[in-house]
Amino acid sequence: MRVAVAEKTTKFAGLTLDEKLDRLAEVAVKVGLALRAGQELIMTAPMEALPLARKITEQAYKAGAVLVTTLYSDDPSVLARYEYGPDASFDFAPVWLQDGIANGFRSGAARLAISGANPALLAKQDPAKVSRANVAMSKASKPAMELITRHEINWTIVASATPEWAKLVFPGEREDIAIAKLWEAIFAASRVNVDDPIGEWQRHGERLKKRVDMLNEKRYYALHFKAPGTNLTVGLADDHLWAGGGTMAGNGIYCQPNIPTEECFTTPHKDRVDGTVRASKPLSHQGTLIENITVRFEAGRIVEATATAGKDVLNRLISTDEGARRLGEVALVPHASPIAQSGVLFWNTLFDENAASHIALGQAYSTCLIGGEKMSDAELTARGANSSLIHVDWMIGTGEMDVDGIANDGTAEPLIRKGAWVSQ
């Protein structure tokens, strides 16, 4: 495995881990959130991410946060539920807590999530219980998630290296070495291993915006994906709008929802997806690994789904509700993405989705429709936007993939060839 995580400057290489974490925290607060003085911040994190969470808390208060509230998750406690919890536990979620989070967002709080939980935490647990717990939590958190998917608030996600995740990414390495390697991969992918990380993010955002502007000018009717195992046509929603990099939230704050990010994405039409598609990377979903996914769509709906590992979890996932079998996002990412070129399989969607073009099952982003943030649910549906309790990205792009933009008259125009953008 080639790991292209070398620091771009000896200055960064000479920093302590504590100093590097502070850089990542500063980018998360100033670029990811663009946190305003007087805002609250609601943060979620695994217990193992405590050092990064503390740095982010410090940076948030330096930026003028009025209060930082962090909710921590603990893997052993999660597993205790599956070992000792009563059956009724798996249909239960703390609605009161999720309602409180949603109220915090409505009151002006920003949201930050630190990713890093063990991707295989629930791999040995009963898939039926995992599915029931996920459905219960999805229902409870829907009010808060709607504010996020509508980009009503400024929010972002960053990652922290954790022991179990690191051992999965770098198997065979001693734990401390695996963690160190994962940290360096995170720093590189998150563009903090340079002299001016904030300036680099501004330049990166400008590059993504140029590509987004081109796609919005084209107004394609559909995209056609062609690669070994994939022959898929994805119709685009009426009045769809491409996005990438930063976004203007409904509260007037320009934020970067994902750190890292390399994608240009938009809303597919929920009824206009046809063909077969094969995943190019494994999917880690709620502590379960799903490998070698292949699905077939007819009139927008998955009618056949297979996987070599985690098939039961996949089938339960797409049975969450009617919208779970339909697409809510399609994204283009070149194979030249730094994350793809690193050769690292992160087993984490935040990173792996930025290594390859991808699709997402479930809920669409209303902000990826012209005027969508002001539309009712009925208006969004009429334009083809999907609705669901879930939003799960999985990767389909490879160095062999070709993508065509299809115009309203059916003519095709090359967008990507062998995983690389065609000059437009």
Domain that holds residue 272: 218-243+262-421
Q: Are residues 156 and 276 in the same domain?
A: no
Task: Give the pLDDT of residue 424.
Answer: 53
Q: Are residues 43 and 182 in the same domain?
A: yes
Tell me: pLDDT of 325 over 80.
yes
Task: Give the pLDDT of residue 41.
Answer: 98
Q: Would you say residue 128 lies in a domain? A: yes
Tokens read off for 382 = 């009429």
Tokens read off for 159 = 């990652």
Computed over every residue of the chain, the mean pLDDT equals: 93
Choose one of 145, 170, 189: the last residue of a domain: 189
Q: Are residues 414 and 294 in the same domain?
A: yes
Q: Are residues 106 and 222 in the same domain?
A: no
Global confidence as pTM? 0.83
Comparing C-alpha atoms, which of 109, 393, 69 is closest to residue 249?
A: 109
Q: Would you say residue 348 lies in a domain? A: yes
d(CA 355, CA 258): 13
Give residues with Cβ within 8 angstroms of 126, minimum separation 6: 82
Q: Are residues 103 and 233 in the same domain?
A: no
Among 17-21, 30-34, 330-334, 349-353, which stretch is predicted with the lowest mean pLDDT? Answer: 349-353
Count of domains observed in the chain: 2
Among 19-23, 254-258, 284-288, 316-320, which stretch is predicted with the lowest mean pLDDT? Answer: 284-288
Average pLDDT over residues 379-385: 95
Q: What angle is formed at CA 404 by the lines to CA 398 and CA 408, rounded to 5 degrees?
A: 150
Q: Would you say residue 256 lies in a domain? A: no
Q: Are residues 226 and 134 in the same domain?
A: no
Q: Would you say residue 65 lies in a domain? A: yes
Average pLDDT over residues 48-76: 98
Q: Would you say residue 277 lies in a domain? A: yes
Q: Are residues 237 and 372 in the same domain?
A: yes
Reduce the secondary structure of the chain to three states and give it as a string: CCCCCCCCCHHHHCCCHHHHHHHHHHHHHHHHHCCCCCCEEEEEEEHHHHHHHHHHHHHHHHCCCCEEEEEEECHHHHHHHHHHCCHHHHHCCCHHHHHHHHHHHHCCCEEEEEECCCCCCCCCCCHHHHHHHHHHHHHHHHHHHHHHHCCCCCEEEEECCCHHHHHHHCCCCCHHHHHHHHHHHHHHHCCCCCCCHHHHHHHHHHHHHHHHHHHHHHCCCEEEEEECCEEEEEEECCCECCEECCEECCCCCEECCECCCCCEEECEEEEEEEEEEECCCCEEECCEEEECCEEEEECCEEEEEECCECHHHHHHHCCCCHHHHCEEEEEECCCCCHHHHCCCCCCCHHHHCCCCCEEEEECCCHHHECCHHHCCHHHHHHCCCCCCCCEEEEECCCCCCEEEEECCCCCEEEEEECCEECCC
Q: Are residues 185 and 227 in the same domain?
A: no
Task: Give the pLDDT of residue 5.
Answer: 43
Average pLDDT over residues 165-178: 96
Look at the alpha carbons of 317, 395, 257, 381 in this order and tell me if their dihedral is positive or negative.
negative
Domain with 92 in it: what CATH number? 3.40.1830.10
Average pLDDT over residues 133-158: 93
Task: Give the pLDDT of residue 152.
Answer: 93
Q: Residue with structure tokens 């400008």? A: 206
Q: What angle is formed at CA 261 by the lines to CA 260 and CA 266, rounded to 5 degrees?
A: 150
Average pLDDT over residues 58-83: 97
Q: Are residues 132 and 271 in the same domain?
A: no
Q: Are residues 145 and 19 in the same domain?
A: yes
- The residue that leads in pLDDT, 87 or 123, is 87
Could you tell me which residues are beta bridge partners of residue 69?
Answer: 42
Among 27-36, 60-69, 352-361, which stretch is predicted with the lowest mean pLDDT? Answer: 352-361
Average pLDDT over residues 59-78: 97
Average pLDDT over residues 333-362: 90
Average pLDDT over residues 139-148: 93
Q: Are residues 182 and 321 in the same domain?
A: no
Q: Would you say residue 196 lies in a domain? A: no
Task: Give the pLDDT of residue 349.
Answer: 84
Question: Which of 10-24, 36-50, 369-383 has the highest mean predicted lDDT (pLDDT)?
Answer: 36-50
Q: Are residues 35 and 159 in the same domain?
A: yes
CB 302 within 8 A of CB 321: no
pLDDT band at 1 (very low <50, low <70, confident <90, very high): very low
Q: What is the pLDDT of residues 209-220, one digit of tens each?
A: 999 999 999 999
Q: Would you say residue 363 lies in a domain? A: yes
Q: Would you say residue 212 lies in a domain? A: no
β 420-421/412-417 pair status? antiparallel
Q: What is the pLDDT of residues 249-265, one digit of tens each?
A: 999 999 999 999 999 99
